[in-house]
Amino acid sequence: MFTQELNAVYILWLRQIKRYYRARSRVIGSFAQPLLFLFALGYGLGPVYAQAGKGNYIDFLVPGIISMSIIFSGMFSGLAVIWDRQFGFLRETLVAPVSRLSIMLGRTLGGATIAFGQGVFIFIVSLFIGFHVQNWILVIPAFIMMFLIAILFTALGTGMASRLEDIQGFQFIMNFLLMPLFFLSGALFPLTNIPTVLMYIVAFNPLSYGVDALRALLVGTTQFGIGMDFVVVTSVAIVFMVLGAYLFSTIEA
Amino acid sequence: MWSTVSASPIIEVIHLSKNFGEFSAVNDISFSVPKGEIYAFLGPNGAGKSTTIKMLTTLLRPTKGGVRICDVDVLQHPSEARRLFSVMFQEPSLDDELTAYENLEFHGVLYGVPRALRHERIDELLEMVELADRRHHMVKGFSGGMKRRLEIARGLLHHPRILFLDEPTVGLDPQTRNHLWEYVHVLNKSESITVFFTTHYLDEVDQHAHLVSIIDHGVIIADGTVDSIKKETHTDTMESAYLSLTGKMIREEGGDNSNRSRIMRAFAK
């Protein structure tokens, strides 16, 4: 019974990876936006940041851009659910004798793996434009954190997509959600001395803790503390996963 | 042609209803299917056939009433019920961006068919539906008929207790149709799999089914053996019996969402 659930998770994961790998144009397109942010902001705002006495902006920015590429890719992988619904394939998974948690898990891990891979790619590119890793051992926990962020936001996107029937609606909600999540996470600016109201909003955004953890591990500065970061990101990821499994159990097709 | 019938029902439908808003798609239907039967579920377009199949296969929650499959309450224990059947939907449900083989592999793994058996059956079924030489081709390049054949192969991959076939032979050439029915009979006999199917080709009912029920406007208007229905309507084929029961007016597809998704698919192209 348990091995069958595990196999189901595996085959759902594999399907996602295969589809991604085969859609070459999507692979290239998905890197364009974070790279643009990295180059434009990194080189554009760098001198201002240095003048303000904050040091190297690229070092500050890279954890934010890594997070950005992960949440965009993760959230949008929820689109796969809507495509599957429109092309009828969703039914094939819904009548299968596996738990809805396994379906949610398999889909989420698939999307999260892709999102994580993109984060790793941005990390590697950033090394070539002057990003300094403070301690290479800590890259390992940083990668774990990247994967957790990926799971959290893929689960969110997938869960929301299970409620929606058309692509336009999904894109509309995504744009409303993604930009605030990204801009109000401390990905682009330091959280020291920002207005209190803004700080409350930032503290309520799970991405803030992901960005903070990556900054702690890769650059060595933290706002909330690395322990707090891991606790928040992991628990929110679990909550979204369970919620998504529940939403999948109520889908009618 | 048909198999022997034992007394215990394998599917029990009890006062089942489904409303979509004001529209009553299925209205208080009850019937039971004996184990080992090949059972035809007939009706004009929009009569409630697909809606009923969706409720039997856990995809749609009934507004009222219940369904039991092998004594498992489908509403209370959906996962347990899902182990017991296989379903082939009227609309395509393949992954276009996977190969034929990968689609079957995906299904086999989801249904827990052990690896060796899975590969053996996939080979056998691809041979049956004459797609063996296309096994590693992407499904998106397939014609409508080829996709249909692949879905048939997939529906037969894990040997369930009940096989639901919603218009399985639409768009198939006579050769493939015959193959399909032959295979269904083999499964019905050797593994005593109960078959529940819908069709608009009524000669298939004469040839392959034993028991029939006919649904129209969401209500069962006739059920019984093929012979008894023919006798009651004083006809000698299922086609004329069916027409005398349901009339000759052409129906529009109703509130079912199948039409809408077909249109959406066309736009997505």
Helix (H) or strand (E) holding B13: strand B9-20
**pLDDT of amino acid B42:** 95
Integer Cα distance of A90 and B93 in angstroms: 7
Indicate the SS3 state at residue A74.
helix
Q: Does B93 touch chain A (CB under 8 A)?
A: yes
**pLDDT of amino acid B3:** 47
**pLDDT of amino acid B2:** 47
Q: Does B50 touch chain A (CB under 8 A)?
A: no
Q: Cβ of B261 and A10 within 8 Å?
A: no
Indicate the SS3 state at residue B194.
strand
Strand B162-166 to strand B85-88: parallel, antiparallel, or no bridges (unpaired)?
A: parallel
Report yes or no on B232 lying in a domain.
yes
Confidence band (pLDDT; 50, 70, 90) for A29?
confident
- Quick check: A159 and A242 in contact, CB under 8 A? no
Report yes or no on B216 lying in a domain.
yes
Q: Cβ of B89 and A10 within 8 Å?
A: no
- Taking CA–CA distances from A19, the nearest residue in chain B reads B97
**Counted domains in chain B:** 1
Select the residue from B72, B109, B265 to test the A interface by mutation, using most A Cβ atoms within 10 A.
B109
Q: Which tens digits make up the pLDDT trace of A120-172?
A: 999 999 999 989 999 999 999 999 999 999 999 999 999 999 999 889 999 89
Q: Does B1 touch chain A (CB under 8 A)?
A: no
Q: Does B94 touch chain A (CB under 8 A)?
A: yes
Select the residue from A95, A165, A246 to test the B interface by mutation, using most B Cβ atoms within 10 A.
A95
Q: Which positions in chain A touch B96 (Cβ < 8 Å)?
A: 87
Q: Which tens digits make up the pLDDT trace of B80-114?
A: 899 899 999 888 899 999 999 999 999 999 999 99
Strand B211-216 to strand B38-42: parallel, antiparallel, or no bridges (unpaired)?
A: parallel
Q: Does B75 touch chain A (CB under 8 A)?
A: no
CATH for B212: 3.40.50.300
- Quick check: A245 and A100 in contact, CB under 8 A? yes
Q: How far does CA B263 lie from the centroid of its chain?
A: 22
Q: Does B58 touch chain A (CB under 8 A)?
A: yes
Q: Which domain holds residue A87?
A: 2-249
Integer Cα distance of A75 and A156 in angstroms: 7
**Counted domains in chain A:** 1
Angle at A56 between CA A54 and CA A61, to 5 degrees: 100
Indicate the SS3 state at residue A88.
coil
What is the end-to-end Cα distance of chain B in Å, rounded?
Answer: 43
Q: Which domain holds residue B3?
A: 1-36+45-76+199-269
Integer Cα distance of A142 and A47 in angstroms: 27
Integer Cα distance of B104 and A213 in angstroms: 42
**Strand ranges (DSSP E) for chain A?**
none
Report yes or no on B50 lying in a domain.
yes
Indicate the SS3 state at residue B197.
strand
**Chain B residues 114-173 within an 8 A CB cutoff of chain A:** none
Report yes or no on B32 lying in a domain.
yes
Report yes or no on B230 lying in a domain.
yes
Mean pLDDT, chain A, whole residue set: 92
Select the residue from B97, B163, B265 to test the A interface by mutation, using most A Cβ atoms within 10 A.
B97
Q: Cβ of A91 and B59 within 8 Å?
A: yes
Q: Does B89 touch chain A (CB under 8 A)?
A: yes
Report yes or no on B163 lying in a domain.
no
Confidence band (pLDDT; 50, 70, 90) for B252?
low
- Quick check: A38 and A71 in contact, CB under 8 A? no
Report yes or no on B26 lying in a domain.
yes
Q: How many helices (H) and strands (E) does chain B have?
A: 10, 10
Among residues A25, A82, A94, A37, the alpha carbon closest in space to that of A64 is found at A37
